Chains A and B, each alone.
Chain A
Amino acid sequence: MDQLTAVWEWFMMESTWRGSGIDPGILVRVYEHMSMSLQAVALAALLVLPIGLYIGHTRRWEFAAISIGNFGRALPSFGILGITFFITTALDVPGILGFWATFTALFLLAIPPILTNTYVGIKGVDADTIEAARGMGMTEREILTRLEIPLAAPLIVAGIRLATVQVVATATLGAVVAWGGLGRYIVDGLARGNDVLLLGGAILVALLAIVTEVAFGVLERIAAPRLTSQKKRVVAGSRSGQLGPAA
């Protein structure tokens, strides 16, 4: 219990939040953590969403989408980080040590869930509905933008949520390759045998991950208000299969 009191006292110090000396403080660490994570997911989404839409709509390259999804599930995130760390140091990539290694690893990790969910969501749109739309004279472009994307929106958003939660979790490991973020407290706590830093960092990282998850839950409800109707609820239930690996 003494430890918890010490952690509480650590959280109560202003320098813990605002930083002192070379320690930038929790606020800066949270900012680093989130801006890195969100940028990695945003870049991945920007690149991968069009590909997922294309594969889902045309049903071409389906095998590639499925393979990337499975591959991403089996690949250890820690291993990806190791490889990107080595490559960035071998190439002497400029910038803060570990920044690009972490960013690249997170970017790569964000790809499979977004791709899989976008492709599955678009592909899952009822074939009869599309047939009817085509019969009504809608162009392929209209079918995609006015029918398939809105209907697949809940799944697509779920994919982005999955990617974001995984990326926020994995960003913690960035501290192992000398980058910052909230993982810094855990890695430093480990290295120095400082349980206060270790526990404080663990609390912060866990809270950030849970807040991200909850925030996306709210976002999903906003993105898909129709989900509240009874019929759609069945659709939502079937999404429970979309659980990704923990990171």
Chain B
Amino acid sequence: MNLAQADRPTIKWSWIGDNSDKIFARFIEHIELTVLAVAIGLLISVPLAIYAYRHRWFYTPLTSVTGILYTIPSLALFAFLLPYTGLTVQTAEIGLVGYTLLILIRNIVAGLAGVPPDVREAARGMGFSSGQMLWRVEMPLALPVIMAGVRLATVTTVGLVTVTALIGKGGLGFFILSGMRTDFITAILVGSILSLVLAVTVDGLLVYLERRITPWSRSRAGQRRPAPKTQSSIGPRVA
């Protein structure tokens, strides 16, 4: 692809048309990298968060470790991994997954802790085992808070995927990087704007999904009842 074809501060619309297949391929790559990271992040976070919810001592060390991971700048995290995993998808994914953990774990625990005690009491009275209680009562009721975490994790990941251009992946970040290297604003804008559009769209889709899978919370959202004070019950540890 010929990126170095203009260094005037004008947008070359024809370039977008000429390269639409490449743009589309990178767009798909961006989605794949994001979905994979959030999915793996959830697979790791759900059991850890459930354990931390049941054994409170585990919560502080867990969020401390994931918090440190979250604080490490993305380029540094990728740099740590590069000598071992090289310019591979693994390097990108390990880093991206790492950033989802703190957000997901905190929201899952907060969601579970926000389940009203009388609901839990009623379920126990009905003879629910602790497993049944978790998957049929607590997790469904925690879903709105969990979904808020999934949304934040996803939007964050969409942004971070662009940085992986520096380690040979990048999705739409590829265009940002190559645009920088060749002084070509069209590519930079295509990469930035599409990634922004992707973040906003995915966020909207997740809101829609949440409404679909938690129909009971719809009326609550409509009536603007105060949100459950879930965060306060997990202790003073903050961002």
**In the complex, what residues of A have CB within 8 A of residue B191's CB?**
79, 82
By a CB distance below 8 angstroms, the chain B residues around A198 are 79, 82-83
- A76's partner among B195, B203, B238 (CB-CB below 8 A) is B195
CA distance A169 to B176 in the complex (A): 18
Chain A residue nearest to B67 (CB atoms) is A213
Please tell me if A119 contacts chain B, counting CB pairs below 8 Å.
no
- The interface size bin for chain A is 35 or more
Interface status of A190 (Cβ within 8 A of chain B): yes
The contact of A210 among B72, B165, B183, by CB within 8 Å, is B72
CB-CB nearest in chain B for A185? B79
Flag if A176 contacts B180 (CB, 8 Å): yes
Kindly state the separation between the CA atoms of A245 and B203 in the bound complex, as whole angstroms: 14
Contact string against B for A residues 220-247, beta-carbon threshold 8 Å, 1 for contact and 0 otherwise? 0000000000000110111111111111
Given the complex, which residues of A lie within 8 Å of B74, measured CB to CB? 169, 246-247
A86 CB contact (under 8 Å) in B185, B195, B200, B232: B185
Taking chain A's interface residues, is the majority helix, strand, or loop, or is none over half, making it mixed?
helix
Within 8 A of B (CB), among A149-206: 158, 162, 165, 168-170, 172-173, 176-177, 183, 186-187, 189-190, 195, 198-199, 201-203, 205-206
Please report the total number of B residues contacting A with Cβ < 8 Å.
Answer: 57
Q: Does B75 contact A (CB under 8 A)?
A: yes
Which residue of chain A has its CB nearest to the CB of B179?
A82
Distance (Å) between the CB of A155 and the closest chain B CB?
11
Interchain Cβ contacts under 8 Å between A and B, 30 examples: A73-B156, A74-B155, A74-B196, A76-B159, A76-B195, A77-B159, A78-B162, A79-B176, A79-B191, A79-B193, A82-B176, A86-B179, A86-B180, A90-B185, A169-B71, A173-B163, A186-B79, A190-B82, A202-B79, A203-B76, A205-B75, A206-B77, A236-B236, A236-B238, A237-B234, A238-B232, A240-B231, A240-B234, A242-B238, A244-B239
Interface residues, chain A, CB within 8 Å of chain B?
3, 73-83, 85-87, 89-90, 158, 162, 165, 168-170, 172-173, 176-177, 183, 186-187, 189-190, 195, 198-199, 201-203, 205-206, 209-210, 213, 233-234, 236-247
